[in-house]
Structure 1
Amino acid sequence: MSLPALLVRLSLLAALCIALPAAAFDTIWRNGFDYPANRNSPLGTNLDGVVDYSTSYNFTDAMKQSRSWITADTSGAGVFDTDDRACLDLDENGYVRSLTPQTGNPGCSTPSYNAVSTLFFFGDFPGHYPSGRYIVTYEGQGDISYHFAAVRNAALSAPGRDVLDVNANAGGWMLRINAIAAGNHPRNIHVWMPGFDEHSGPSQLFHPDFLALIRRNKVLRFMDWMGTNNSSQQEYAGRPQLADVRWSEGNMPLEVMVELASRSDAHPWFTLPHRASDDYMTRFAQDVKRLLRPDLRVYVEYSNEVWNGQFSQGAYVEAQGDAAYGNQGSGFDRRLNWYGQRSAQLCDLWKSAFGAQAGRVVCVLGAQAANAYTLTQAADCPLWTAGRPCSAHGFSAAAIAPYFGGYLGHPNHAATVQTWTPTQLFAEINGGGLAGGPAGGSLTEVQGWITAHRAAAQQRSLQLVTYEGGQHLAGVLGNENNDAITSLFTGANRDARMGTAYTQHLNFWKSAGGGLFMHFTASSGYGKFGSWGAVEYLDQTGTPKHSALMQFIDDNPCWWADCED
C-alpha cells in the first residue's frame, strides 16, 4: 500500500471518529483485499438498496440498516403501525427525543401512539442472516424491549448495553422504545452483529460476508445506496450524515461509500441527485477527492434513467428542458437535450474540482439500451447552442443497460408464457419463436441494441460500458401478480442454463467492443418483482449466475485501454 493511500485511509478514520490500532489495520480493514482479486476484472456490480428487508446485511452495525421509525399503539388490542411518523419528536440525528406527539409538525394530525419501533431483517429470508448473540449499545435512558426473533439475555445485559439471543430461523425482529427519560433519550444506538461489539464493530464497519461477495468487482455503482431514483436532495447541507440513526432507504453518507471503495480496491460510481445544485455537485466532488484513495478513479453520472417515465427525475428534467428550449423538438427531445446539458455541467464541475487529477474522473452519459437515439440526442444536445455537443465536455463513456428477456414479462405474452416449462423459456431466450417476440429471441434482440450503441459511442469517441445488465425476467404492468410466471422466472434464475445464457451474453458484449460491464445486482431476494441478485443470500455459494460471472472474470482479463489503472 502506498503512503498516499495510507494517509487517505487515516484521514477517513478521523472523519469517522474511529480509533483503530495500527497493528489491526490490514487484518480488520482489508478483509482479504491485500492482493486485489479485481485488478484485471472486466466486471463491476450495482449494490442492492440498503433496507431492513434486503437479503444483504452490509454492516457490522445492523442499526444502520434498520427500518424507519414505526409509531405503535400497544394499549388494548394494539396497532402495529399507527402511521403517525410525521408527529415524531426527533433530534438532529433522527433519534426519538420523546414520545410526545409534535402536533405542529407538517402532516401530523390526530396522533394515537405510545411507542416507537424499528425492524431488522424483516424480509422473507428466515435463516439467511446470522443467528447468535447481538449486542445493543446506547446512551440515555428508556424502556427498550425486543420482539419476534430476538430475546433479551437479562443475565448478560446492563444499562446501556443489552445482549440479545437471536434465532434467524424465526424471521426478523423488532426493537421497541416504550418509554423515554425526560431530557435523556436513548441515542447513539448501535446493534452489533454476532462476532462484533462496540470495540471491534466500528473499525470493521462492513460485514465480512458482504465484502467477500463483492471482492471480484472492479467498480461499485451506488445508485440504490444513494436513493437516486425520485431523490429530493438538493443542497449539500441536507446530505446524509455519518451520525444519522440509520443509513437505510437511500440515506447513505458519502464517507461510507468512499470507504467501501477504498477498502475493496474498487472504483466508485456515483449517481448524483437530479435536483442537486452546482454547489452540491462541487462539494461532493471535493470530498470524494479528499477521501478516496488517490490510486482509484471515480465514475460520475447525472441521476439515473431520465428517459424512464416511472421515476420523477424524468419529468423534472423534461420540465427544465421545456423552460430552457421552449417549443423546439418534442418534449422527449427537450428532456434528452437538457439531460445532456446538465450531465455536461456536472462533468465540468467534477473535472474542475479534481484539478490536476481530473483524469481520475470518468464522466458517464446514460442511455436507454433499446433506443440509441437517447444516446445520440443527449451526446450531441443540438438544442443547447451555447454548449453543444455535450459529449465534448470531458465525457469518457456512454452507458446502457443491455438486459435480456424483458419482453417476456409483459401482459401481451402472459397467456403463452404462463404455460411454459423452463425448457421452453430457455428455448425462447436462445432462439426465439414466441409470436410477437423478437426474431432470434432474447439474446439476439439485445445484441442488436449493443451494436447500435457501440457505433454511436464510437462516432463520438466514447467507450461503451453498461450501468446495469443481466437478465430481466420480471412481470410488469400487473403481470407481476401472475404466480405461474413468477414461479417460472424465479426458477429460471436458479437454473444452470441461466449461467450459460450469462456467458453467451457477456461473450457477445466483449466481441462487440463493449468495455466495463456492470451487473445488476450483487445480491437480492427473488420474487414477483424480479430476480436480480447474482446470489439470493450472502450465505449462498456457486449459484449459476454468480459462477458464470466469476468464470468470465477468470477467463477474460479486462481488455480495454488503461483498464488496470
Structure 2
Amino acid sequence: MFYITARNIRRTFKSFVLVFIFITSIITTITSNTVLATDANTSAYPNTNSPLGINLNGVADWTTQWPFVDAFKVSRSWISQHKDSAWGQGGPLHLTPSGGIASLEPDQYADTVMFDDGVGHYPSGQYVLLYNGQATINFLFGSASVVSQTPGRMVLNVVPQASGIFMRILATDPNNPVRNIRLIMPGFEKTYKTQPFHPLFLQRLSKFKTIRFMDWMNTNNSNISKWSERPTLNSATFADKGVALETMINLANTLHANPW
C-alpha cells in the first residue's frame, strides 16, 4: 500500500522538476538551433525565402538594362555599308564563325551600335575597347573619342547621348581578322573575365528566387534548329541569336536563383 507522506511528495516533486528541466533544455536547444539555422539561411542571400520570380528582357542594343560589363555583348548585328550606297546597303559581309569581320570588300565597312535607347541611359567615363587581330576602328556621331590607342586596345572617353555608341570597322587584315571585340564599361577592365555581370544588374535581381530566360534565349521565332547553331561564349554579340547557355547558368548560380 502506498501512503502519501511529505517525503513522497518531496521525492515526486523533485523528480517532476528534474524531468521538466530536462524536457525544457531539449526544447530550448532545438528551438535555438532552429532559429540559428533560419537566421543563417535568411541572411545568406537576399532571395533565400523569396516567393518572387522575374522575366528578363531580351538582349538588344536598345535595351535600358546593363546586364554585362562588356557592352559589346549587347551590340547590334553588323550593318554593312559602302561609301557609294544607301544606308545599310553595303552588300554581304564576310564573317568569322563567331561573328567577327573576316574581311571587307574595297570601300566596304561594317557598323554596329550599343545603348541606342533614345535617351542616353548608360554610364559616362572611360571605356576600354579590346580586340584580337588587326583593324582600323573609329566611332561615329561623337559617341566616343579616343584617349589613347595601342594594338588591340583603345581607351575611349564616352559622354552618353540618345543615339548610343556607334562603332565602325573601316579595315581589317583577312590573314589576322578583327575578332573577340569587347567594350568594357568604366572600372571593370580587371574584373570582366571573372564577373561578367554589371553589379547594378545583379543588385536589381538579387531578391528574385526564379529568373526566367525565355527572351534571353530568343525562344519566340528562333531560327536555331541545331545544337551547333546555338550562341556560345565566343559569340560576338548576344543580341543576335540570344545568350549563351553557359552565361545563363552563370547568372543563376551567381544569384543563387532557379533558372526557368
State the TM-score, normalizing by the size of structure 2: 0.79
1:224 corresponds to: 215
State yes or no: 1:129 paired with 2:136.
no
**Equivalent-residue separation in structure 1 for 2:96 and 2:163 (angstroms):** 31
2:199 corresponds to: 208
**Equivalent-residue separation in structure 1 for 2:43 and 2:100 (angstroms):** 37
Structure 1 segment 70-469 matched on structure 2, within 5 A: 70-75=79-84, 79-82=86-89, 84=91, 87-100=92-105, 114-126=108-120, 128-154=121-147, 156-169=148-161, 171-197=163-189, 199-269=190-260
Deviation at 1:34?
7.9
What is the identity, as a one-letter code, of the residue corresponding to 2:97? E
**Equivalent-residue separation in structure 2 for 1:227 and 1:53 (angstroms):** 16
Deviation track 1:133-192 (CA, whole Å, cap 9, x = no partner) reads 1100111112111123433324x2212111111111454021100111231111111100
Contact 2:45 2:256 in 1 (8 A): yes
Contact 1:60 1:196 in 2 (8 A): yes
| Higher share of residues assigned helix | 1
Q: Identify if the C-alpha distance between structure 1 residues 139 and 249 changes in structure 2 by more than 3 Å, giving closer, same or farther.
A: closer
Larger Cα-atom Rg: 2
Aligned alpha-carbon RMSD (Å): 1.9
Give the match's secondary structure for 2:249.
helix
What is the identity, as a one-letter code, of the residue corresponding to 1:135? V
Deviation track 1:197-256 (CA, whole Å, cap 9, x = no partner) reads 1x3211110011111111111100001000000112222222111111111134211000
State the TM-score, normalizing by the size of structure 1: 0.37
Contact 1:218 1:266 in 2 (8 A): yes
Between the aligned residues of both structures, percent identity stands at 40
What is the identity, as a one-letter code, of the residue corresponding to 1:43? L
Deviation track 1:359-408 (CA, whole Å, cap 9, x = no partner) reads xxxxxxxxxxxxxxxxxxxxxxxxxxxxxxxxxxxxxxxxxxxxxxxxxx
**Equivalent-residue separation in structure 2 for 1:183 and 1:95 (angstroms):** 13
State yes or no: 1:61 paired with 2:70.
yes
Listed as ranges, the gaps of 5+ residues in structure 2 are 1-41
Structure with bigger RCO (C-alpha 8 Å, 6+ apart): 2
Contact 2:230 2:241 in 1 (8 A): no
Q: Identify if the C-alpha distance between structure 1 residues 217 and 250 changes in structure 2 by more than 3 Å, giving closer, same or farther.
A: farther
| Higher share of residues assigned strand | 2
Listed as ranges, the gaps of 5+ residues in structure 1 are 1-32, 102-112, 270-565
Deviation track 1:276-302 (CA, whole Å, cap 9, x = no partner) reads xxxxxxxxxxxxxxxxxxxxxxxxxxx
Contact 2:82 2:90 in 1 (8 A): no
Deviation track 1:302-358 (CA, whole Å, cap 9, x = no partner) reads xxxxxxxxxxxxxxxxxxxxxxxxxxxxxxxxxxxxxxxxxxxxxxxxxxxxxxxxx
Deviation track 1:395-442 (CA, whole Å, cap 9, x = no partner) reads xxxxxxxxxxxxxxxxxxxxxxxxxxxxxxxxxxxxxxxxxxxxxxxx
